[in-house]
Amino acid sequence: MALQWMFLLLLTPLLAAHNRDKPSPNTFGKLSEKGKCKAPSDWDSRLRFYPKRISYDLNEVVQLNCTGRFLPSVPQIQCISRGAQAMWNETATCKETCQQPQWDSQLQFSPNQNFYRVGEEVTLSCFLNSTPPLAVIRCANRIPPKQSNAWEVLAIGGTWHRLAQKLTCTMAKCPKPQWDAQLQFSESKTKYPQNTELTLTCPKGLEPSFPKVKCTKEFQRVSSGKPDYVDAWWGRNSRGAWTRIERDVLCTEMCQRPPWDSRLQLVPDQENYGKKEKVKLSCPGGLQPTYTEIKCQTGFQDYDDDVTQYSVQKEFWHARDSTGAWVPIQSSVKCIEVLQVDPETFEISSTSIKLKWTCRFPDACQGMRAMCRLAVPSSPPCEAEEVKGEQMLHGQEGTFTCSPLQPFTEYRVSIDLPPNTTLFSWLFTTEQTVPDKPEQLWLDPDRGSLRWNSLSSCKGEIIGYQVPRGQGRPSARAWSSVQAHWEGWKGTAGMTCRRKEKLRDPRAQYLYEQSFTQTASSPPPPPPPPPPPPP
């Protein structure tokens, strides 16, 4: 029995050492020699790696492909370092795909690929040059699995239906739409070819809701396994893009969508607005429009060319001001910053940050709060305490001061508006200050050297040290930069100053040292008082 226990005691550390050398079962791929990733051998056998090698260097990116009609789950993998191990950033497999349908030679596919992943959507069109789409299809799982292709089509109602027959492009013409009787078509016909751009006009003083239109056929639904198509009219909006016409095109007194700040959000969001129709304006977080409500007005504007006088009907936009009155908009509406913080007002010291703020829209600044936090978590040797709490800001303008802070440390100052809008965010670095002095000195009289531990740069960048030279009273000593009077320092853990001549009597010398940083506001401090001479 004693022999068995002895054998077990000897075997335990051997097994532990053996397990330490084995890779973790949770890593992606296999580990190879230190700093390299081994080519995976237990992944999907259909995967192909480019370049093809036995192992790959750290940070190397490998392109993936699959055999047959399969596609990799990710296009590439990378050899990364996790702790002391090198491994692949993720595991790849080969996914089932659908081959591009060979339905109609006129069909245009976007994106145009040979194979598509399951769930990938494809837009079909029958014409080039930014034509409206015929339908949207997607690759679906095969039912049964041996089915060569499985495609679904999106119906107008937003539901997906499996296609039993192919989609094709039809050249059938579209009948003239029964819109406003005042509309005049550039070509007066009863039917119009697909994808032919038509110009619409109205009697004097009126405007069509869409001045440019064209017709296409569009998939509507699957009926008894067959696709049904409907006429779809499209209009060119004020930005030049084609949009589907959902309502009748009318001749009305209208205002076009104003070409103001692209960040403006209009509700309702339309290309044209009726007379006296009101529109709400807003901007993304942290911004505010110069007006929050506008409405369309039309009227005649008089002109005089020194010969005749005439009037032209024009559109006008009016805005509701702070008193509730409607006033003409003289220029345009813009999104401007709610809060203004001028960098010229920043006051930064080694222990505080102060800034001045102004709220341009007092009603939009209710509940503002300011805070400052360490930009990155502190770590030894430069430990800094986190600044706690926050300050509520009131009124239209004021100042915010963040203190006490650690010198030569990066902080982020932010001003937020509930629930989650950031009005201001800035990175600051506090000023440098006078550093500490080295605590321990080592004097070697035989070698003529003075050594000390180097200081950290927690209070500023250390650019040099000052060491006293000479004998006698402190006032007779000369303080000089180490670089000028000593051969320099050696090693990384400490600093060494070595005189060119051996010290004659170290007991009679008062050797002190101090450090200094490069800061105009903090010159090197005066030398400390000397200790009593050694006995």
For 343-364, the DSSP string reads GGG-EE-SS-EEEEEEES-GGG
pTM of the model: 0.41
Q: Which of 15-24, 150-159, 326-335 has the lowest mean pLDDT?
A: 15-24
First vs last Cα of the chain: how many Å apart? 70
Q: How far is CA 378 from the centre of its chain?
A: 25
10 Å Cβ neighbour count for 270? 16
Sheet strands side by side (includes 369-374):
391-392, 369-374, 410-417, 421-429
Residues 422, 371: contact at Cβ < 8 Å? no
> What does the pLDDT read at residue 238?
67
Residues 424, 483: contact at Cβ < 8 Å? no
Q: Is the dihedral of CA 289, 291, 297, 301 positive or negative?
A: negative
DSSP 382: B
Question: Is the bond leading into 144 cis (omega within 30 degrees of zero)?
Answer: yes
Q: Which of 72-86, 124-138, 519-533 has the lowest mean pLDDT?
A: 519-533
Name the residue among 28, 8, 31, 9 with its Cα closest to residue 20: 31
The string of pLDDT tens digits covering residues 162-174 is 877 788 888 888 9
**What average pLDDT does this structure show over 288-302?**
78
Q: What are phi and psi of 418, to 5 degrees?
A: -60, 145
Residue given tokens 């005089």 in the structure block: 304
> What does the pLDDT read at residue 303?
53
DSSP-derived 3-state class of residue 153: strand
Report the alpha-carbon distance of residue 304 to residue 482 in Å, rounded: 85
The string of pLDDT tens digits covering residues 39-67 is 888 888 889 999 988 889 888 999 998 88
Residues 23, 40: contact at Cβ < 8 Å? no
For residue 348, give both structure tokens. Answer: 């930064």
Report the alpha-carbon distance of residue 415 to residue 411 in Å, rounded: 13
> What does the pLDDT read at residue 113?
85
Q: What are the strands, taking DSSP E only, across 321-470?
A: 326-328, 335-337, 339-341, 347-348, 353-359, 369-374, 391-392, 397-402, 410-417, 421-429, 441-444, 449-453, 462-469
Alpha-carbon separation of residue 505 from 446, 478, 534 (angstroms):
10, 18, 12
> What does the pLDDT read at residue 473?
47
Name the residue among 455, 412, 415 with its Cα closest to residue 437: 455
